[in-house]
């Protein structure tokens, strides 16, 4: 993809979002936006994502297996491709996701902040923008056990076909979509592929994720020939706005009294742990390791009952170290 093509895509996207933003809140989004004449593209350098960092933040206590939630949030902010909010950025969706910052700050929802930290680490280590780490808020409310009426499941709400295409194991006894380990690794791989295909443009990557890689490429080819906005679903454009709205909500939360202080608490560093062959259940293994069985069940809904699948679970790093997990995710 050339820089001129990226600039054209940015112009098309901006035109479409102007059209979407002009609709009142609650307007049905089933109709495609009307064609828009595109002005000559302006060549601009794309904003690079922040460099990945696999090292623990300065105040992380790796030996104790914890780190501050404030450091998790700072890592998230450092990895954003578009960290600045505009006056209208995602304005239609701020109300829809307004509770996300409060959930993150709620100590009673402690597994959310720890799980968010795990996902942020995975995407930053892959050199991908942390806007992508907000997708589970939209798809599942950051609930690894979530299921939808259309058959999607897990943190990232993969349908069976997509999951199998991404190498996630599914059979009669095990559904890897419910594993935050398997599903997040699949998401990192999938977004990494799209991000490379769209030359590091995170918005086109999100559109490709929502509408399909080849549909977006075909739309861009038509736009290059006609100079008119291709007929993509408004839902596809809105998906990008939802992510940006979430990012802006967190940025605004920083300015509120007490929000950053609420994040400044120690949460577990989560890590992939290979369970030993003799482990018969997650509860039995957690008791042997002195772990919180309720937390492990919440984090690993794929391992309820008898252990199955790949026998890998997400656990605090102290347990992962005892099991010799090393640096694997």
Q: For residue 14, which of 111, 97, 82 has the smallest C-alpha distance? A: 82
Under a CB-based contact definition with an 8 Å cutoff, are residues 156 and 186 in contact? yes
2 pairs with which residues across the strands?
none
Is residue 228 within 8 Å of residue 36, measured between CB atoms? yes
Report the distance separating Cα 81 and Cα 202, nearest Å: 7
Q: Under 8 Å CB-to-CB from 220, ≥6 apart: which residues?
A: 5, 8, 9, 12, 230
102, 125, 131, 139: the catalytic one is: 139
CA-CA distance, 88 to 86, in Å (whole number)? 5
Distance, in Å, from the CA atom of 165 to the CA atom of 187, rounded to the nearest integer, reads: 11
Based on the residue annotation, tell me whether 139 is a catalytic residue of this protein. yes
Catalytic machinery residues? 139
């Amino acid at each position: 993809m050339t820089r001129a093509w990226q600039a054209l895509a940015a112009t098309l996207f901006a035109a479409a979002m102007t059209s979407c933003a002009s609709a009142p809140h609650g307007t049905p989004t089933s109709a495609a936006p009307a064609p828009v004449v595109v002005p000559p593209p302006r060549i601009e350098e794309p904003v690079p994502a922040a460099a990945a960092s696999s090292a623990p933040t300065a105040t992380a206590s790796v030996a104790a297996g914890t780190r501050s939630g404030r450091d998790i949030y700072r890592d998230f902010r450092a990895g954003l491709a578009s960290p600045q909010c505009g006056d209208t950025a995602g304005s239609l969706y701020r109300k829809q996701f307004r509770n996300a910052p409060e959930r993150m700050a709620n100590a009673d929802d402690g597994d959310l902040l720890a799980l968010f930290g795990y996902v942020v680490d995975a995407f930053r280590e892959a050199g991908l923008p942390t806007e992508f780490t907000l997708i589970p808020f939209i798809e599942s409310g950051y609930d690894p056990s979530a299921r939808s009426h259309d058959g999607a499941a897990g943190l990232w709400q993969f349908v069976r076909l997509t999951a199998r295409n991404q190498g996630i194991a599914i059979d009669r006894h095990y559904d890897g979509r419910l594993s935050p380990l398997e599903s997040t690794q699949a998401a990192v791989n999938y977004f990494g592929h799209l991000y490379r295909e769209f030359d590091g443009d995170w918005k086109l990557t999100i559109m490709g994720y929502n509408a399909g890689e080849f549909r977006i490429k075909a739309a861009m080819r038509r736009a290059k020939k006609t100079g008119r906005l291709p007929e993509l679903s408004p839902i596809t454009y809105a998906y990008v706005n939802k992510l940006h709205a979430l990012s802006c909500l967190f940025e605004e939360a920083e300015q509120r009294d007490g929000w950053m202080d609420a994040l400044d608490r120690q949460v577990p560093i989560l890590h992939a742990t290979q369970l030993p062959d003799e482990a018969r259940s997650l509860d039995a293994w957690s008791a042997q390791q002195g772990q919180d069985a309720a937390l492990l069940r919440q984090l690993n809904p794929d391992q309820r009952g008898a252990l199955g699948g790949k026998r890998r679970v997400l656990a605090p790093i102290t347990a992962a170290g005892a099991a010799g997990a090393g640096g694997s995710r």
